[in-house]
């Protein structure tokens, strides 16, 4: 309820504010196009350990009943007899049948597993009691081996190796399985603890995809850069090692290729069995806007390089947390009739925290990124005549956060709430501004219809999962949304404003490898910048996986 009230307040604010037009040249800045085409993180499929009891509960013949005056353990470690004292109290001083001895071992094993030792068990061997003392054999579930059932991968084995030689705790087993599943191209299908030749063995069933290619066609860009765009993402896993990946992204405007050419190449490599990953990426783009900007002969180039380190801080099925640090250098130039009119250079250090957790009966994903622009390596200085803004330079501090919460409501209905906001210490160069409009927020408006140094935006979407639509045997999702946002500029800078839009559509699995999205989005707070009207727009998106 609180989140809904916050979102309603945002709508009220932006509706009451005048919408100010954004500079057309800002909206086709190559750095913005580059930022909009960064690879999206894949959805994480969390494996769930499957536990099998390692030893039988008891082997005492059914005809035997024993007088038990005391109980002691053989093989107990990490836990103490005090952890089982209440269980012992119910059985001491009694004549116990075979069934009661079985229940005793089951209670002991259940208590140990409840303490987190997921593979622990207990057994009572045939024995002659001395002074009424019953000896219980305790098995803490020590892992002595890992067997990979499926595609052998050295990085997966390395991630699971710390489990060997000690009792397996549920939290650590789960963490290690998730870290193993984070290896590029690897999926953990199933895991179980079994006894093989008397050894406690963790069996992990895996599958590995060496290459993945996705092609996307969409029409929600701006008229000068599209609006139709075609994108290809290719992932090649295990290039030089079992835990590395090479990725390539290519984006173009298929009907007017000169308007946009964008390419990004990245290489990532795991450097520790705890999931630490280093990555290097370079990106370049070239633009020559058409449509109503064609007569101005505007062109632009952008080149960037980024080095980053990713570290999982907490990995569980119910909650995960990652820390990412990066250093990036970006050069952006714009020309008119061959004469350079703009040049920005930004050197920035960024630290971000990303999370994925169960909250409020649903799934909450989000991130918080702190960015610091540095005055080094020729970064744009104050007063630079070619800077994209005359009140900004390459030294800045920003805090950008976003969140996305989805919850099922029953009967195939679900609710999605999302928000994003940015704070800034000072006016920003165009590449660092926050924008509203496009496929993420304010879908009824064009990409980056309003932009500014600071801003906030929100989205509410109600969805209905349509099983076997029209008897076609696939699935679809019907949805309706409303979104709003506002951006402002510091120091009285030009631009900014607020927008609200709404609409609905359908997402469908056309085939196992083809997804499609058809959406009708309507501006609610004023006309679009480009069309100068409030007509609904039809957004199309088709994805083909290879």
pLDDT 10s digits, 155-172: 999 999 999 998 888 889
Sheet holding 133-139, edge to edge: 70-74, 133-139, 121-123
Domain total of the chain: 2
* DSSP labels, 423-458: EESS---GGG-EEE-SSSS-TTS-TTSEEESEEEEE
**270-293 residue pLDDT tens:** 999 999 999 999 999 999 998 888
**Domain end residue (candidates: 192, 208, 224):** 208
Q: Answer yes or no: is 70 within a domain.
A: yes
**Tokens 């639509």 belong to residue:** 469
Shared domain check, 173 and 112 = no
Assess whether pLDDT exceeds 70 at residue 53: no
**pLDDT at position 388 over 50:** yes
What residues does 166 pair with on adjacent strands?
A: none
Domain presence at residue 83? yes
Instruction: Name the token pair of 323.
Output: 């820390």
Q: What is the model's pLDDT at position 55?
A: 47
Annotate 224-243 with DSSP letters as a single string.
GG-S-EEEEEEEEESSSSTT
Joined tokens for residue 504: 């609905």
Residue 59 confidence (pLDDT) above 90: no
- As a residue count, the chain comes to 546
pLDDT for residue 448: 86
> pLDDT-derived band of residue 36, with 50, 70 and 90 as boundaries?
low
Distances (CA, A) of 522 to 169, 311, 442, 528: 53, 41, 9, 10
Phi, psi of 208 (to 5 degrees): -135, 135
How far apart CA 327 and CA 275 sit, in angstroms, is 20
- Residue 195 maps to a domain: yes
Rounded to an integer, the average pLDDT of 429-456 is 91
Instruction: Answer whether residue 132 shows pLDDT above 90.
Output: no
Per-residue tokens: 299: 């062109």
CB atoms near residue 13 (< 10 Å): 15
Average pLDDT over the chain reads 87
pLDDT, mean of residues 437-447: 90
Confidence category of residue 7, pLDDT binned at 50, 70, 90: very low
| Number of helical H runs and strand E runs in the chain | 7, 26
Half-sphere exposure of 305 (CA within 13 A, CB side): 0
Looking at the fold, whether 135 and 150 belong to one and the same domain comes out as no
User: Where residue 32 falls among pLDDT bands split at 50, 70, 90?
Assistant: low
Average pLDDT over residues 239-252: 96
| Mean pLDDT within 124-151 | 89
Q: What is the DSSP string of 24-76?
A: HHHHT-HHHHHHHTSPPPPPP-----B----S-S----TT--EEESEEEEES-
What is the C-alpha separation between 120 and 128, in angstroms, rounded? 25
SS3 (DSSP) at 532: coil
The span from the CA of 292 to the CA of 530, in Å, is: 9
* CB contact at 8 A, 259 and 289: yes
Supply the CATH number for residue 100's domain: 3.10.20.310
Q: Are residues 115 and 174 in the same domain?
A: no
Tell me how far the alpha carbon of residue 73 is from its chain's centroid: 46
CA distance 435 to 495: 11
Q: Whose structure tokens read 């030893």?
A: 55
In 228-386, DSSP assigns E strands to 229-237, 244-252, 260-270, 277-287, 298-315, 319-336, 339-359, 362-373
Domain boundary among 113, 139, 165: 139
d(CA 106, CA 375): 66
Residue 34: pLDDT band (50, 70, 90) is low
Residue reference for tokens 């536990």: 51
Domain limit, last residue, from 82, 116, 139: 139
Nearest Cα to 366, choosing from 379, 355, 382, 381?
355
Asked whether residue 380 is domain-assigned, the answer is no
- Measuring CA to CA, which residue among 488, 493, 494 is closest to residue 434? 488
User: Does 288 reside within a domain?
Assistant: no
Asked whether the predicted pLDDT for residue 9 surpasses 90, the reply is no
CB 181 within 8 A of CB 188: yes
Name the 3-class secondary structure at 153.
Answer: coil
- pLDDT tens for 288-301 read 998 888 899 999 99
**Is 401 part of a structural domain of the chain?**
no
Q: Which two tokens stand for residue 364?
A: 């909450």
- Here the CATH number for the domain that contains residue 158 is 3.10.20
Q: What is the pLDDT of residue 198?
A: 78
Residue 109, phi then psi, degrees to nearest 5: -60, -40
pLDDT at 513 over 60: yes
Question: How many other C-beta atoms lie within 10 A of the C-beta of residue 413?
Answer: 13
**315, part of any domain:** no
Q: What is the pTM of this model?
A: 0.84
How many of the other CB atoms lie within 10 Å of CB of 387?
20
315 close to 275: Cβ distance less than 8 angstroms: yes
- Residue 169 DSSP one-character state: B
* Tokens representing residue 497 in the block: 């404003």
- Do residues 111 and 160 share a domain? no
pLDDT at position 216 is: 96
Inter-residue contact 48 to 521 (CB < 8 Å): no
Same domain, 131 and 161: no
Give residue 2's pLDDT. Answer: 35
Q: CB–CB of 204/177 below 8 Å?
A: yes
Buried b / exposed e across 95-115, counting CB within 10 Å, b at 16+? ebebebbbbbbebbbebbbee
Range of the domain at 198: 145-208
Q: Is residue 119 part of a domain?
A: yes
Give burial (CB, 10 Å; 0-12/13-18/19+) of 369: middle
Residues 158 and 175 in one domain: yes
């Amino acid at each position: 309820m609180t989140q809904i009230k916050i979102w309603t307040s945002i709508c009220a604010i932006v509706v009451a504010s005048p919408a100010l037009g954004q500079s057309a040249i800002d909206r086709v800045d190559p750095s913005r196009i580059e930022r909009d085409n960064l690879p999206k993180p894949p959805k994480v499929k969390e494996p769930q350990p499957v536990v099998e009891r390692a030893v039988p509960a008891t082997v005492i013949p059914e005809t035997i009943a024993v007088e038990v005056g005391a109980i002691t353990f053989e093989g107990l470690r990490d836990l103490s007899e005090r952890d089982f004292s209440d269980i012992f109290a119910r059985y001491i001083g009694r004549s116990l049948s075979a069934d009661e001895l079985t229940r005793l071992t089951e209670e002991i094993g259940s208590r140990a597993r409840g303490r987190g030792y997921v593979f622990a068990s207990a057994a009572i061997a045939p024995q002659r009691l001395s002074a009424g003392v019953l000896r219980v054999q305790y098995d803490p579930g020590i892992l002595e081996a890992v067997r990979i059932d499926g595609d052998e991968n050295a990085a997966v084995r390395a991630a699971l190796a710390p489990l060997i030689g000690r009792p397996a705790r549920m939290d650590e087993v789960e963490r290690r399985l998730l870290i193993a599943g984070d290896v590029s191209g690897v999926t953990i299908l199933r895991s179980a603890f079994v006894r093989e030749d008397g050894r406690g063995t963790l069996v992990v069933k895996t599958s590995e995809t060496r290459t993945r290619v996705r092609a996307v066609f969409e029409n929600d860009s701006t008229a000068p850069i599209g609006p139709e765009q075609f994108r290809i993402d290719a992932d090649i896993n295990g290039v030089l090692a079992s835990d590395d990946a090479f990725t390539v992204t290519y984006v173009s405007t298929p009907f007017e290729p000169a308007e946009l050419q964008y390419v990004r190449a990245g290489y990532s490599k795991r450097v520790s069995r705890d999931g630490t990953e280093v990555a290097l990426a370079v990106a370049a783009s070239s633009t020559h806007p058409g449509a109503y900007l064609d007569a101005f002969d505007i062109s632009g180039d952008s080149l960037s390089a980024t080095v980053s380190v990713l570290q999982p801080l907490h990995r569980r099925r119910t909650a995960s947390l990652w820390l990412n640090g990066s250093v990036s250098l970006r050069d952006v130039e714009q020309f008119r009739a061959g004469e350079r009119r703009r040049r920005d250079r930004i050197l920035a250090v960024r630290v971000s925290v990303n999370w994925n957790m169960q909250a409020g009966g649903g799934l909450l994903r989000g991130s918080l990124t702190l960015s610091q622009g540095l005055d080094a390596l020729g970064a744009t200085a104050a007063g630079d005549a070619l800077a994209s803004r005359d009140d900004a330079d390459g030294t800045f501090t920003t805090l950008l956060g976003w969140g996305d919460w989805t919850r099922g409501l029953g009967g195939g209905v679900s609710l999605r709430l999302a928000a994003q906001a940015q704070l800034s210490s000072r006016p920003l160069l165009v590449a660092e501004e926050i924008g509203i409009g496009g496929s993420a927020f304010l879908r009824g408006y064009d990409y980056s219809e309003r932009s500014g140094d600071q801003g906030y935006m929100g989205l509410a979407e109600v969805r209905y999962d349509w099983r076997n639509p029209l008897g076609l045997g696939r699935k679809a999702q019907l949805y309706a949304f409303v979104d709003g946002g506002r951006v402002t500029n510091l120091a009285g800078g030009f631009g900014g404003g607020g927008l609200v839009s709404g609409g609905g559509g359908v997402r469908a699995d056309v085939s196992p490898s083809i997804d499609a999205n058809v959406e009708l989005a309507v501006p609610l707070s004023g006309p679009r910048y480009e069309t100068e009207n409030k007509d609904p727009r039809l957004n199309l998106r088709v994805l083909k996986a290879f």
